[in-house]
Amino acid sequence: MWASGSKPVDVVVPTSSLYFQRTGASSYDYGMGDFTRDNTWREKDISGIVPVGTTKVEMSCRFYAAGTPHEMLWRKGGETNSIMFIKRESGDEAREYQWSFWVDVSNDRKVEYKITAGAMNNLDITILGGFKDV
């Protein structure tokens, strides 16, 4: 029995999901040549991949560090707050690293990245899905 003696209110779920999942990708969305690796914040327009209204994306990253430690930072496009970012690091081992992470997306569907310079054999990014306004 509920404390108030009444039943809980039904939750209405929208017919269009807040989460979208990308399926059928035949290759990575971005490769090493699609990034400037100079430890400076750079903009990446993802509007050709994600739908209008996207607020957050899940990204999968794969890279081979080639014996050089690296930092990779991601944040919402246009963000200026110096502590609002996601950071991934590699050690100095010559091996492959793989991560997935969530990044906020600006209203014009842009994100920003900052990647350290140095030897790197490959860098591949795929957007797996995300959240959007309905």
Maximum mean pLDDT: which of 8-17, 18-27, 122-131 = 122-131
**pLDDT value for 2:** 47
| pLDDT (mean) for 43-65 | 93
| pLDDT (mean) for 78-85 | 90
Confidence bin at 50 (pLDDT 50/70/90): very high
Domains and CATH numbers, the chain: 35-132 (2.60.120)
DSSP 5-72: SSPPPPPPPPSS-SEEE-----S-SB-GGGS--SSS-EEEE-TTTS-TTEEEEEEEEEEE-TTS--EE
Report pTM.
0.82
